[in-house]
A and B are shown apart, each in its own frame.
Chain A
């Protein structure tokens, strides 16, 4: 599975959009991009995933560059409850079921 690079930490003001970057320059054509987050003292929570096209759900939007070498997770109106570690994961679809988590980005939403 392709390796990902994320900044170790980011800050965001409450009510503003949080844009979390992820670099995956070695991604291959059949690898998906997944985002999870982990709020303190809880298990990780699935947010969103995509292959090529941009994706949006009730939690966030995922923007994948045309060359697929990087992506951005967008939380449109961050709240204090969005303070968490955000993990960007890249892996192939099908077959091998495991997800490998890196160290992620600690997003702190400030009042």
Chain B
């Protein structure tokens, strides 16, 4: 089975800190995604990547950046965390030929105080 692993299940950070959320997939998938999920707003796409060193903005990229130096790893970076970035962050991956079928990690609940 495909496994998408997110480095932390819960994370607490302070306003202004630089935050790294890490995601690793073990199925050699080309595509990787970062979503955030908030009550009443559903899942919203932040960034996605379809190849190493390639990235595309999603629907809400402001305040975030990403890094994909290796195929299996996709990092989400909050340059200066703010309280409105408190959320559940979900990473996903998919293969190029099966791009409709996303595999998700269990999520990281980030609290910014």
Contacts and interface: CB of A to CB of B under 8 A. Distances in A.
Interface string A32-56: 1010100001111110010000000
Interface in B38-72: 40, 42-45, 48, 50, 56, 58-59
A17 interface: no
Contacts of B58: 98
Interface residues of B, number: 26
Interface SS, A side: loop
A100 to B, nearest CB: 7
Contacts, number: 52
Interface SS, B side: strand
A7 interface: no
Interface stretch (A22-30, A60-68, A101-109): A101-109
Interface of A: 32, 34, 36, 41-46, 49, 93, 97-104
